[in-house]
Amino acid sequence: MIYEVFVREAKQAAQHAGSVAASSPDAALAFAHEQFGRRGAWEEIWVAPRDQIAVMEAADLPGPAFDRSYRLMAGYKHIIQKWREIDLAGQRQREGLRP
């Protein structure tokens, strides 16, 4: 059976690292440790049978029906310009702060 391997390093969320072929979860962990856990920095290794992982692909979904840039920082670039126009940096200096 194929197991997908996820490694969690210190302070991080677990990340997909690769896969191993094994006959049981214990064997999968042993192989995963050999393959992905030999560089020291990991705190946890997770394995999950590939056929137990449900997958969704963005390409299968319809794209946004309209402009959704209001959800993104990129949708508000004009605000940075507006703060410049009303001289926020100058105001910070007048308050005695770093610009």
Partner 1 sequence: MTDADRLAEFEARIARGEKIEAGDWMPLDYRQAALKLIQMHAQSELMGCLPEREWIARAPGLRRKLALTAKVQDECGHAQLILRVAEDLGAPLHRTREAMMEDLIAGKAKYHNVFHYPVPAWADVGVIAWLVDGAAVITQGALVDCSYGPYGRILERICAEEAVHIRHGEDIILSLASGDAAHRLELQEALNRWWRPLLHFFGPPDELSHAAPLYRYGMRKQTNEELRQKFLGRAVPQIRAVGLELPDPAPHWDGTQWVYGDPGWDEWRAVINGQGPKSAERLGLRRLTWEEGRWIREAVSGGAIAA
Q: Where along the sequence are the contacts to partner 1 (CB under 8 A)?
A: 10-13, 43-44, 68, 70-73, 75-76, 78-79, 82-83, 86-88, 90-92, 94-97
Report in angstroms how near the CB of residue 18 gets to partner 1 at its nearest. Answer: 22
**Beta partners for 48?**
4
Q: Which is nearer to partner 1, 49 or 90 (CB)?
A: 90
Q: Which is nearer to partner 1, 49 or 75 (CB)?
A: 75
Report in angstroms how near the CB of residue 62 gets to partner 1 at its nearest. Answer: 17
